[in-house]
A and B are shown apart, each in its own frame.
Chain A
Amino acid sequence: MTKAVLSTLELLLLLFPVALLLGGYMARVFRGERTFLSSGLRPMEKLVYRLCRVDEAREMSGRSYALCVVATTLGGCLVLLLIQLLQGILPLNPQGLRGVRWDTALNTAISFGTNTNWQAYAGETTMSPLTQMLGLAVQNFLSAAVGIAVAVAMIRGFARKEAKTVGNFWVDLVRSVIYILLPLALVLAVVLVSQGVVQTLRAPVEARTLESARQVIPMGPVASQEAIKELGTNGGGYYNANSAHPFENPNGLTNLLENFALLLIPTALVFSFGIMVGNRRQGRALLAAMLALFALGLGLSFWAELSGNPLLADAGVLAGANFEGKEVRLGIPASALWAESTTATSTGAVNSAHDSDLPLVGLVQLFNMGIGEVVFGGVGVGLIGMLFYVVLAMFVAGLMIGRTPEFLGKKLGAREMIMAVIGILLPPVILLSGAAIALLLPAGLAGLGNPSAHGLSEILYAYTSAVGNNGSAMAGLSANTPFYNLTLGLVMLIGRFATLLPGLAIGAAVARKRTVPSSIATFPTTGPLFVVVLVGVILLVGALTYFPAFSLGPILEHLFLGAGRLA
């Protein structure tokens, strides 16, 4: 338990000061103010505008902004699809890999274009270095930047008064990449290489082991992708084993840095939010709510994982320690901390096998993703999702005190409420329907890697991960089939736009409103009461939505284990 507490404290001690600084920096970037990097980066930014014929002074309505979001997302998917299909005739393919099968390629294109990074394929034997660099890594940056841009537009909506516009999408996108993602990725990637993360264009190397067996060692430009994979809360591994692979995550230091990196921008954005709406305490209140939910899930995970598996103890394993699917250099506490961090944000990276985690840990992961990954959350989209819950919470509070709900001086009306409810409820409806269909069809059941209650969890996890644009998996599910590739692909698209578009709609709607001065009767939104109401609403919505499904999956399996029974 000491390591559990210590690793968490070390991570948070590193995270919060850096996120606070980055949050201030990001607020400056998106207000177009000078930063300490401007002298070097401003010329590059202007060059991109010139090449892309972007007028940086132009302001956009919510509708135009949304159109750009959709065009960039779908355009990115299309380009990535073509690169994969044509891989066989493109250069930088030392293994001579063929074009990716159409359904896998389509699934992967949507997956990386929507910041999900669900992977139906195994990187080592499917994707050439060119596809990884030019296709997958580029979308790692762009999909993250789209998320940040939309969050910034929504924040502007709350900050502006009687405005018809929410900013310029192209400017927000380009600044996200050039001022935030690229510099951070460069620094992180260099540190990762120094620790053993591979960065080369060589073909795989053949080794003859000490016992004279042949071992082919994969190579690739891994560090450059690993860095943005975590910073952009993407999560698509260069190799099949993802961040459990020693070439992606070679030691405790890289593990801490990667875990820190995937939480960094989502946390910093909450600080930026406080600064940009002119109410830093509001940002801190949201962060307090996130931290409470994080601690809740993490505490349960630690407790479950560290109490071990009684069935393993019976089989002769020391203390029944649940070490299946875990790495010795990372250990159980750091694996549980990572799993909590990646499902709280929408990072699909795994450093342990989620399929082999104890059922209550799986329950926490499903819950984190199911509530929409609003605990820190994916870059941009996490904050958007949290603001949906804020709108809902203010509505509930408004009903209780009998006043029109307001937030940051903006009266919240029917349109904001409808959009928030779409953002909160459409994803669960889609994921539960998708999982139910998969459970009814032979094509769905054919993929099961485990029997009984755990099998149900596998299918539920797949659709939850897809709709939440998370991308991690209980990977025993054989999902590289046309059925799963197509249904999960569709679910990922719906999940992405069900967050981005309502977020923009709310931003554009509140931008048009006047700001009403707060009075003695205004519900205070920066105090402990607000945090309690917000957390309560999130827990309530999550529990009401998922309890029936969870009770047949992870909860049932937990009861089996407790009784010392196989499923």
Chain B
Amino acid sequence: MKEIRTAFLVILVFSLLLGVVYPLLLTGIGQLVFPWRANGSLVSVGGRVVGSELLGQSFSSARYFHGRPSPSDYDAMASGASNLGPSNRALLLVVQERVDRIRSKNGLPSGTPIPADLVLSSASGLDPEISIESALLQVDRVATARGLDVAVVRSLVERMVVGPFLAAFGDRRVNVLRLNLALDGLT
């Protein structure tokens, strides 16, 4: 029928315009005007790509600040959340275990409340940032492990704080990879 033929012609023409011309035009603009951003905001150290500024990565050494728990352990090809519901026993058990571990690793007395972002996993599993509270909590541990003055590490953290956008979107936070790179720059 005539309408069916038109439908397929429209799909074909728009596939070319919207599926080829439009994304390629944008790729061109992106690569020309914002090449670093368009290619994943990659961070290199000595010519080696160490990650993306925008993606979290796993840190476990005492010498580094640690990011948030990740359901995929920061596998960037497997983004996603834990999807555990708020009344799920599995969530409460794993949170309890993380709270205990963070208290013991950072020498905090039992009963100290832990900032939520440090013991609850993110929506992407790749959150690159932690709240300022979660960073300050780790300052003593990192300073000791590196033999640095606590005040030096603390002021480094405070220099790297980013605030909420328009005072409304996001929390006061630091980028974990940027912070750890700055730390490596100190020693």
User: Which A residues are closer than 8 A to B by beta carbons?
Assistant: 3, 6-7, 10, 48, 51-54, 64, 67-68, 71-72, 75-76, 79, 122, 124-125, 133-135, 137-138, 141-142, 170, 173-174, 177, 182, 185-186, 189-190, 193-202, 204-211, 213, 215-219, 221, 223-225, 239-241, 244-247, 250-253, 255-256, 309, 311-313, 315-331, 333-335, 350-353, 355-359, 449-454, 457, 474-476, 557, 560-561, 565-567
Which residues of A have CB within 8 Å of B30?
A: 190, 193, 199-200, 223
For A322, what are the chain B residues with a Cβ–Cβ distance below 8 Å? 86, 116, 120
Residues of B within 8 A of A182 (CB): 17-18, 22
CB–CB A566/B87 < 8 A: yes
Q: CA A76 – CA B165 in complex, angstroms?
A: 39
The answer to whether A135 touches B120, judged by C-beta atoms less than 8 angstroms apart, is no
Assess the A75–B31 pair: CB atoms within 8 A.
Answer: no
Known: A311-B92, A328-B130. Is A475-B10 also a contact (CB below 8 A)? no
Chain A residues near B111 (CB-CB < 8 A): 316
CA distance A456 to B112 in the complex (A): 35
In B80-94, the 8 Å CB interface with A consists of 80-89, 91-92
B29 adjacent to chain A (CB < 8 Å)? yes
What residues of chain B have their CB less than 8 Å away from a CB belonging to chain A? 3-4, 6-11, 13-15, 17-20, 22-23, 25-27, 29-31, 33-34, 37-42, 45, 48-55, 57-61, 64, 68, 74-89, 91-92, 95-96, 99-100, 103, 111-117, 119-131, 133, 164-171, 173, 177, 180-181, 184
- A52 B23 Cβ-Cβ under 8 A: no
Give the docked Cα–Cα distance between A474 and B10 (Å).
Answer: 35
Contacts A208-B48, A211-B59, A353-B81 given: A75-B8 contact, CB under 8 Å? yes
Contact indicator A241/B79 (Cβ below 8 Å) = yes
The answer, among A125, A193, A358, A567, for a CB contact under 8 Å with B37, is A193
Chain A positions within 8 Å of B61 at CB level: 211
Instruction: For A310, give the chain B residue with the smallest CB separation.
Output: B86
Q: Which residue on chain B has the smallest CB distance to residue A247?
A: B54
Of the A-B pairs whose beta carbons lie under 8 Å apart in the complex, a sample of 23, sorted by A's number, is: A53-B9, A122-B80, A142-B18, A189-B26, A190-B30, A195-B37, A196-B41, A207-B51, A210-B51, A211-B60, A217-B51, A246-B124, A247-B52, A309-B86, A317-B113, A321-B116, A322-B116, A328-B127, A356-B82, A449-B85, A454-B86, A475-B83, A557-B86
Contact of A317 among B33, B50, B75, B99 (CB under 8 A): B99
Q: Is the CB of A560 within 8 A of B87?
A: yes
Q: How far is the CA of A210 from the CA of B48 in the complex (A)?
A: 10
**Which residues of B lie under 8 Å from residue A216 when comparing CB positions?**
75-77
* Chain A residues in 8 Å Cβ range of B52: 207, 217, 246-247
Q: Quick check: B27 and A138 within 8 Å, CB to CB? A: no
Chain B residues whose CB sits within 8 angstroms of the CB of A219 once the complex forms: 39-40
Distance of A10 Cα from B164 Cα, bound (Å): 13
Q: Which of B11, B75, B164 contacts A331 (CB 8 A)?
A: B164
A9 CB to nearest B CB, Å? 8
- Give the chain A neighbours of B3 by CB distance below 8 A: 64, 67-68, 71
Look across to chain B and name the residue whose beta carbon is closest to the beta carbon of A256: B169
Question: Which residues of B have CB within 8 Å of A221?
Answer: 23, 26-27
Taking a contact as CB atoms under 8 Å apart, the answer to whether A185 and B84 are in contact is no
User: For B37, what are the chain A residues with a Cβ–Cβ distance below 8 Å?
Assistant: 193-197
Q: Which residues of B contact A247 (CB under 8 A)?
A: 40, 52, 54-55
Q: How far is B44's CA from A206's CA once the two chains are assembled, in angstroms? A: 12
Q: Do A353 and B87 form a contact, CB below 8 Å, given A198-B39, A327-B123?
A: no
Q: Pick the contact of A241 from B33, B123, B133, B166 — CB < 8 Å?
A: B123
Q: Within 8 Å CB of B169, what residues of A?
A: 3, 7, 252-253, 255-256, 330-331, 334
Chain A hits for B131, CB < 8 A = 328
Contact of B57 among A209, A450, A560 (CB under 8 A): A209
Chain B residue with minimal CB distance to A76?
B11
Question: How far does the Cβ of A190 sit from chain B's closest Cβ, in whole Å?
Answer: 6
Give, as a whole number of angstroms, the nearest-CB distance from B138 to chain A.
15
**A138-B18, A328-B173 known; A566-B58 Cβ under 8 A:** no
In the complex the two chains form, what is the Cα distance from A53 to B3 in whole Å? 10
Looking at the complex, which one of A52, A321, A324, A333 makes contact with B13 (CB distance below 8 Å)? A52
List A contacts of B13 (CB < 8 A): 48, 51-52
Q: What is the minimal beta-carbon distance from A119 to any residue of chain B, in angstroms?
A: 11
Q: Which residues of B contact A134 (CB under 8 A)?
A: 15, 19-20
Are A224 and B27 in contact, with the CB atoms below 8 A? yes
Given A209-B50, A210-B59, A245-B79, A10:B168 Cβ within 8 A = yes
- The reply to whether A142 and B170 contact each other, CB–CB distance below 8 Å, is no
Q: How far is the CA of A233 from the CA of B180 in the complex (A)?
A: 39
Q: A245-B124, A245-B126, A311-B87 are in contact. Are A6 and B77 (CB under 8 A)?
A: no
Q: How far is the CA of A205 from the CA of B52 in the complex (A)?
A: 10
| Least Cβ–Cβ distance between B20 and chain A, in angstroms | 7
A567, B85: Cβ atoms closer than 8 Å: yes
Q: Determine if A256 and B129 form an interchain contact, defined as CB atoms under 8 angstroms apart.
A: no
Which residues of A lie under 8 Å from residue B40 when comparing CB positions?
A: 198, 200, 205, 217, 219, 247
